[in-house]
C-alpha cells in the first residue's frame, strides 16, 4: 500500500507541476501547448547540468532555467509577434524535440539515452521534489487567489481591455504568466529525468498534453488542476500495480482515461468547464 502511494506520487509529480504551469499561463490568457516541449527541455537541461557539474541541484536549477527559456520562445512569438498561440506552442515542441535529439547525439553520442547521473538525495527519507511540489501547489493557489499579482493575472486573462484601462500592463502580466509556467514545467522535467537518473529521447511522452487535460478538468484552478493531475498519475500507477498482481487491464485503456474524461468535461457532461474569457486571444497593447 505504501509502495503504491509512493509510486503514485512519484508518477504524478511531473503531471502536477506541468498542470500548475498550464494554470499560470492560461489564467493570464495564453494557451500553452508548449508544455510538452518545456518538460522535455527541462529534463534534458537537468541531466546535462548534473552530468557536467556532478551536482543534481545545479541540474534542478538548469531544468528550471531551460523551462523558462523554452517558454520565453513561446512568449516571444505569441506576445511580441501575435503569432497564434497554438501554433507557436507547437513550434516550440518541434524545436525542442529536434534540439534534444541533437544534443543527445553531440554530447552522449547516442540516439536513445544519456549517461547516468546522480539523483537528489532524500531529505529525511522524503524525495525533495515531493516536498517542493507540495509547497508549490499551496503557493500557487495562494498566489492566484489571494495576491495582487494573481488578481492582475486573472484580470488580463478575463478582460484585458478592462485591465488595461485600470493601468495594468497586459502584455507584461501575460509574459509573467508564461515565464512562471516555464519555470514550473521545467522543474517538472527535471523531476522526470533526475528521478530516472538519465535523459531518454522523447521522455516527456505526452505528459504536457495530459497536463493540459488536467487544467481543463480542474477548471483552470491550481488546486483543481493539481487534483486532476494526481488522479491521472495514480491511474497510471494502479495499472502498474494491477499488472504485478496478474490482473491485466489493457494499458491503452488506462492511457485513454485522461483524454476521454476531458472530452466529457468540455462537452459539459461532468459540470461546465469554462476557460478564462480571453484565453488564446492575442492582445495588442495600444502604447506598444
φ/ψ (deg, to 5) at 113: -150, 160
Q: Which is nearer to other proteins, 136 or 212 (CB)?
A: 212
- Work out which of 126, 139, 162, 263 binds other proteins, going by CB under 8 A: 263
Considering the complex, what minimum distance in angstroms separates the CB of residue 8 from other proteins?
21
Residues 116-155 as x/- pattern, contact with other proteins by CB under 8 A: ----------------------------------------
Considering the complex, what minimum distance in angstroms separates the CB of residue 108 from other proteins?
12
Q: Is 92 in the site for other proteins (CB under 8 A)?
A: yes
Distance from C-alpha of 10 to C-alpha of 210, rounded to nearest angstrom: 16
Q: Is 52 in the site for other proteins (CB under 8 A)?
A: no
User: CA separation (Å) from 239 to 7, 214, 226?
Assistant: 11, 19, 20
Distance from C-alpha of 198 to C-alpha of 46, rounded to nearest angstrom: 9
Considering the complex, what minimum distance in angstroms separates the CB of residue 77 from other proteins?
6
Considering the complex, what minimum distance in angstroms separates the CB of residue 204 from other proteins?
14
Q: Exposed, middle or buried, 250 (CB in 10 Å: 0-12/13-18/19+)? A: exposed
- Taking a C-beta distance cutoff of 8 angstroms, is the pair 129, 73 a contact? no
- Taking a C-beta distance cutoff of 8 angstroms, is the pair 97, 202 a contact? yes
Considering the complex, what minimum distance in angstroms separates the CB of residue 176 from other proteins?
22
Torsion on CA atoms 29, 35, 41, 47, rounded to nearest 10: 120
7-46 binders of other proteins (CB under 8 A): 31
Considering the complex, what minimum distance in angstroms separates the CB of residue 228 from other proteins?
14
Can you say how many angstroms the Cα of residue 214 is from the centroid of all Cα atoms in its chain? 10
Q: Exposed, middle or buried, 90 (CB in 10 Å: 0-12/13-18/19+)? A: middle
**Which residue is associated with the grid cell 516571444?**
76
Q: Which stretch binds other proteins (CB under 8 A): 100-108, 188-196, 218-226, 237-245?
A: 100-108
**Which residue is associated with the grid cell 485503456?**
253
Q: Is 99 in the site for other proteins (CB under 8 A)?
A: yes
User: For the chain, how many residues are written?
Assistant: 288
Residues 220-239 as x/- pattern, contact with other proteins by CB under 8 A: --------------------
Q: Is 240 in the site for other proteins (CB under 8 A)?
A: no
Alpha helices (H) in the chain, listed in sequence order:
2-27, 35-53, 56-75, 85-108, 128-146, 148-158, 160-165, 170-195, 207-217, 222-244, 251-266
Q: Which is nearer to other proteins, 53 or 255 (CB)?
A: 255
- Work out which of 162, 268, 281, 285 binds other proteins, going by CB under 8 A: 268
Considering the complex, what minimum distance in angstroms separates the CB of residue 202 from other proteins?
10
Binding site for other proteins (CB under 8 A): 31, 73, 77, 81-84, 86-88, 90-99, 101-102, 104-106, 206, 209, 212-213, 216, 250, 252-253, 255-256, 259-260, 262-263, 266-268, 275, 280
Amino acid at each position: 500500500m505504501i509502495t503504491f502511494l509512493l509510486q503514485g506520487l512519484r508518477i504524478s509529480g511531473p503531471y502536477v507541476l506541468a498542470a500548475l504551469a498550464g494554470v499560470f499561463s492560461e489564467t493570464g490568457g495564453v494557451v500553452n501547448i508548449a508544455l510538452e516541449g518545456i518538460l522535455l527541455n527541462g529534463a534534458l537541461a537537468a541531466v546535462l547540468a548534473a552530468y557536467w557539474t556532478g551536482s543534481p541541484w545545479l541540474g534542478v536549477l538548469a531544468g528550471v532555467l531551460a523551462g523558462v527559456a523554452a517558454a520565453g520562445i513561446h512568449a516571444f512569438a505569441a506576445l511580441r509577434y501575435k503569432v497564434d498561440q497554438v501554433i507557436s506552442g507547437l513550434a516550440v515542441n518541434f524545436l525542442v524535440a529536434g534540439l534534444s535529439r541533437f544534443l543527445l547525439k553531440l554530447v552522449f553520442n547516442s540516439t536513445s539515452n544519456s549517461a547516468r547521473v546522480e539523483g537528489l538525495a532524500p531529505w529525511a527519507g522524503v524525495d525533495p521534489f515531493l516536498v517542493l511540489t507540495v509547497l508549490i501547489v499551496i503557493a500557487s493557489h495562494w498566489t492566484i487567489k489571494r495576491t495582487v499579482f494573481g488578481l492582475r493575472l486573472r484580470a488580463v486573462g478575463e478582460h484585458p481591455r478592462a485591465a488595461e484601462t485600470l493601468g495594468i500592463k497586459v502584455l507584461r502580466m501575460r509574459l509573467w504568466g508564461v515565464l512562471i509556467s516555464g519555470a514550473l514545467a521545467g522543474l517538472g522535467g527535471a523531476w522526470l529525468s533526475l528521478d530516472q537518473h538519465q535523459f531518454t529521447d522523447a521522455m516527456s511522452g505526452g505528459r504536457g498534453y495530459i497536463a493540459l487535460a488536467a487544467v481543463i478538468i480542474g477548471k483552470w484552478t491550481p488546486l483543481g488542476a493539481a487534483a486532476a493531475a494526481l488522479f491521472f498519475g495514480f491511474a497510471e500507477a494502479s495499472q502498474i500495480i494491477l499488472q504485478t498482481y496478474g490482473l491485466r487491464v489493457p494499458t491503452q485503456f488506462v492511457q485513454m482515461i485522461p483524454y476521454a474524461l476531458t472530452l466529457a468535461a468540455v462537452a459539459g457532461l461532468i459540470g461546465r468547464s469554462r476557460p478564462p474569457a480571453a484565453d488564446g486571444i492575442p492582445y495588442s497593447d495600444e502604447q506598444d
